[in-house]
Amino acid sequence: MTDLQLLGDQAKRAATQLGLLDTKQKNQLLYSMAAAIQDNTEEILQANQSDLDQADENGIKEVMKDRLRLTKERVEAMADGIRQVAQLKDPIGTIKHMWKNEDGLTIGQKQVPIGVIGIIYESRPNVTTDAASLCFKSGNAVILRGGKESFYSNQLLVDILQEALEKNHFSRYAIQFVDDTMHETADEMMQLTDFLDVLIPRGGAGLIKHVKENAKVPVIETGTGNNHIYVDKEAQLDMAIEIIANAKAQRPSVCNACETLLIHKEVAAFFLPAIEEKLIELDVELHADQRASEYLPSATLATKEDWATEFLDYILAVKVVDSIDEAIAHINYYNTKHSEAIVTDNYFATQKFLNEVDAAAVYVNASTRFTDGFVFGFGAEIGISTQKLHARGPMGLEALTSTKYIIYGDGQIRK
């Protein structure tokens, strides 16, 4: 079993060094890491083949295997991802505010790294290099614990990053990998309060819930998106169809996809058949409440669980509501505080929806699929926070920083 105390202690020391690097030094190290990834493409593809062989043995589905599979192009994209992180503006050292107080003290609030970040993830191998480079750029040491499906790929990727650091005379412990996939190790990692400043889980709802319930280390909850689109009585039919089709079917497996359609009763009879026609083309299955199902011949009757389910599949729950108030109440009761959208021409409906819906991202006349750090313009993303503390919504480099007050005096004492 991995000695997490040792990893933690090494990470803490590396974090201290990393916090003192200037931006140029960090960028040079990131470029070296990117080059090392590309130089080792063959080895990476071999390690990835071991993961794929394992997947075959375990009868993993083709769609999952595709997520797991690396190609020459995908390895190159990982290296490019690291270079892009190098090009992002370094938030560390920025003085966010500075002022003189009544005692004559000059007080500044400076951005500093958080320290040591733990990441527990299930996703594709590129999360390894993405997360490592984002933590590095923001001056944080990171301990990565990936899923067993991509174990060989992840382990080799971290080895390569560490060697690149060492070759450039920097501590390899800035980026570390938990080299077993035992559940006990993950659980122990969640208790590592002496060493980890924050733990970010990335993966399915089960993982997130397990981490949230068991971690003593502060957690930033990410990811699950039980998202809604509310089609108001003053919506345009064509726009509603386009947005629903996009939010549901452009990529149903992601957290910013839509799971439930709420539609105002005044337009249900006219809109629903047209929406159904489009969704059938896209192979979307409908689970409708009693009223909606009257206009949706293809639908099965929705159960109460459907309203609370993140399908991540070609399935959409549909419900007719009497008013925008009923829509907002339904959303705030069932949603996971991720992404919500209204389609309407009515000004007051937009303002009401924006003000009253409780979610990280609330949209007017746009697809929920835009909730993403790259799309928002942050240049990168470590995950999408669905909690309210520290960071909410897509998290870029800024979300990986803390602050420190620096105070310049000339002998002041408190009276």
Residue list 247-286, contact with its own copies (CB under 8 A): 247, 250
Alpha carbon distance 37, 44 (integer Å):
8
Element (H, E) at 200: strand 198-202
Query: Which residues on adjacent β-strands are paired with residue 318?
Result: 261, 288
**Does 24 sit near its own copies (CB under 8 A)?**
no
Q: Which residues contact 52 (CB under 8 A, 6 or more apart)?
A: 65, 68, 69
Which residues neighbour 233 within 8 Å (Cβ) at sequence distance 6 or greater? 264, 265, 266, 267, 344
Instruction: Find out whether 150 and 125 touch, Cβ atoms under 8 Å.
Output: yes
For position 356 contacting its own copies by CB under 8 A, the verdict is yes
- How many residues contact its own copies, by CB under 8 A? 67
- Of 363, 373, 380, 382, which lies in the binding site for its own copies, with binding defined by CB under 8 A? 363
- Residue range at the interface with its own copies (CB under 8 A); choices 25-33, 126-134, 216-224, 265-273: 216-224
**What's the farthest any 2 CA atoms get from each other in the chain?**
79
Min separation Cβ 378 and its own copies, Å: 10
User: Does position 366 bind its own copies by CB under 8 A?
Assistant: yes
Strands 383-385 and 393-395 turn out to be: antiparallel
> Per-residue x/- mask for its own copies, residues 96 to 135, rule CB under 8 A?
---x-xxx-x-x------xx--------------------
Residue 402 interacting with its own copies (CB under 8 A):
yes
Q: Does 386 bind its own copies (CB under 8 A)?
A: no
Q: How far is the CB of 369 from its own copies (least distance, A)?
A: 4
Tell me if 232 contacts its own copies by CB under 8 A: no
Neighbours of 405 (CB within 10 A): 10
* Residue range at the interface with its own copies (CB under 8 A); choices 48-56, 151-159, 307-315, 373-381: 373-381
Q: CB-based contacts of 56: which residues, under 8 Å, 6+ apart?
A: 65
The tokens for 182 are 């035992």
| The only residue of 51, 197, 232, 381 in contact with its own copies, by rule CB under 8 A | 197
**Taking CB under 8 A as the rule, does residue 375 contact its own copies?**
yes
User: E strands along 211-309, which residues?
Assistant: 227-231, 258-264, 285-288, 300-301
Report in angstroms how near the CB of residue 412 gets to its own copies at its nearest: 4
Give the span between the Cα atoms of 203 and 255, in whole angstroms: 10
Nearer to its own copies, 53 or 345 (CB): 345
> What size, in residues, is the chain?
415
| Residues at the site binding its own copies, with contacts judged by CB under 8 A | 16, 20, 99, 101-103, 105, 107, 114-115, 193, 197-198, 212-213, 216, 218-220, 236, 239, 242-243, 245-247, 250, 332, 350, 354-356, 358-367, 369-371, 375-377, 387-390, 392-393, 402-414
